[in-house]
A and B are shown apart, each in its own frame.
Chain A
């Protein structure tokens, strides 16, 4: 089996679907593809919720999804939704053990938690991207910020966000609408 090189792998949807199918059998190259595809978004999401332990929680999330992967049957978007669901539960468990509520941190401060190739250009792009996310959610309430993060960073649909957060799709759409209204008020051009 030809194992694609991780560094040169391009995120192609068909390739990812193929990788998901192969990953169910435990193919390392396929797991590496999925890892490269999803891990940045997963780290950004986890860094937003629990910056200090984002790497640890990401590892736990991947190990947990590995146990379910052989019996998983679904598309890559469903796989992402499942992965972020597990990650979110890990965050909740983490703060339950700590005895305090989850607190979001500005993504701009979460750079250290993110692995990178130390390429200056990529880092700058990443910082720009993270700063954009930070600006989006910094003034939103926790529930609305979580919906925006999952939709923008994780790329989930509103129904998938509903599954991840355990809310009804209608509730997610309401939260999303209120968040956008607030964002529009903030970022609309001032007269």
Chain B
């Protein structure tokens, strides 16, 4: 069966195709469509004048009002109370800017303190100039550090300062470390210059503050002699206090931590896992060459502690110096303790 082409289709649907002139197969369909589309002559819908009048009124009203626009998103936004939008925007800007400034610690001290206290209730930790000397000590005001991280940084700097002061013979301090590496001295210098101070003045101030018991400075009070070991044994993580004696079996030697075994292996272990995490610095500062140190460790493992010995008065030496000295003497075992 033939399918009407586009032309025939248009002719059919528009009623232009006269059934009499149509092909045989299209005659019936053309007639049906013509009847269907032919307007009913003389029939007009009953015009409801009231309805037509209402349409005319609607047309005139629309002409006066202008084009009818559907409510847009912007229009819905405009319907919001402007005061509410303004308050929300202002609050957002203020809180955002204030938080950013507080995070960098760049606000004035009273404002910084207030913001820090306020946000601490929300679990947000910001630099607080009152509760810690961290901003000054660490010179690390650009970081939003947690309290523990800040304390760790501060105490680390204190340890460096103590090493520096001890090295420079100032304050009669005895540091856990006899030297500071070049990079550490450079770091101290950078921090001190950030505070517009010399390294010496900066470190003296910092250690003095620590001595007054400011946060982050616990257990750094200087000790001379073993009697302070019980207080220092618990906490000076940063100071990494190392005590040494030429003989571990000196009766009721209080300089040794009760947690620390007296065996040489344990001591060696303590040395390599220095609480300051500065074992590499310790090794670098050690005057013993590495090969020699290995031999020393072997020798120390095989050395038995003497059953009795004369207590030797502890002298403020560095651990490495004490270690090498005791080995050279071949007497006893040097005790290197690190309190954790």
B41 adjacent to A125 (CB under 8 Å): yes
Interfacial chain B residues near A177, Cβ < 8 Å: 3-4, 6, 9
| Interface range for B | 35 or more
Is the CB of A166 closer than 8 A to any CB of chain B?
A: no
Contact of B62 among A43, A70, A121, A126 (CB under 8 A): A70
Given contacts A117-B43, A125-B43, contact A188 B62 (CB under 8 A): no
Interfacial chain A residues near B27, Cβ < 8 Å: 189
Question: How many of A's residues come within 8 Å of B, CB to CB?
Answer: 57
Give a binary string over B239-275; 1 marks a CB under 8 Å from any A CB, 0 the rest: 0000000000000000000000000000000000000
A/B pair count, beta carbons within 8 Å: 149
Segment among B47-55, B144-152, B332-340 that sits at the interface with chain A: B47-55
Closest to A181 in B: B3
Interfacial chain B residues near A135, Cβ < 8 Å: 32
A153 adjacent to B36 (CB under 8 Å): yes
- Complex Cα gap A28–B39 (Å): 23
B-side interface mostly:
helix
Closest to B24 in A: A189
B63 adjacent to A70 (CB under 8 Å): yes
Is the CB of B93 closer than 8 A to any CB of chain A?
A: no
A132 adjacent to B43 (CB under 8 Å): no
Is the CB of A171 closer than 8 A to any CB of chain B?
A: no
A7 adjacent to B44 (CB under 8 Å): yes
B25 adjacent to A188 (CB under 8 Å): yes
B53 adjacent to A152 (CB under 8 Å): no
Closest to A69 in B: B59
Give a binary string over A124-157; 1 marks a CB under 8 Å from any B CB, 0 the rest: 0110110011011000000000001001110100
Interface residues of B (CB under 8 A from A): 1-4, 6, 9-10, 12-15, 24-29, 32-33, 35-47, 49, 51-60, 62-63, 67-68
Interface residues of A (CB under 8 A from B): 6-7, 9, 11, 23-28, 31-32, 35-36, 39-40, 43, 59, 62-63, 66-71, 115-117, 119, 121-122, 125-126, 128-129, 132-133, 135-136, 148, 151-153, 155, 158, 173, 176-177, 180-181, 183-185, 187-189
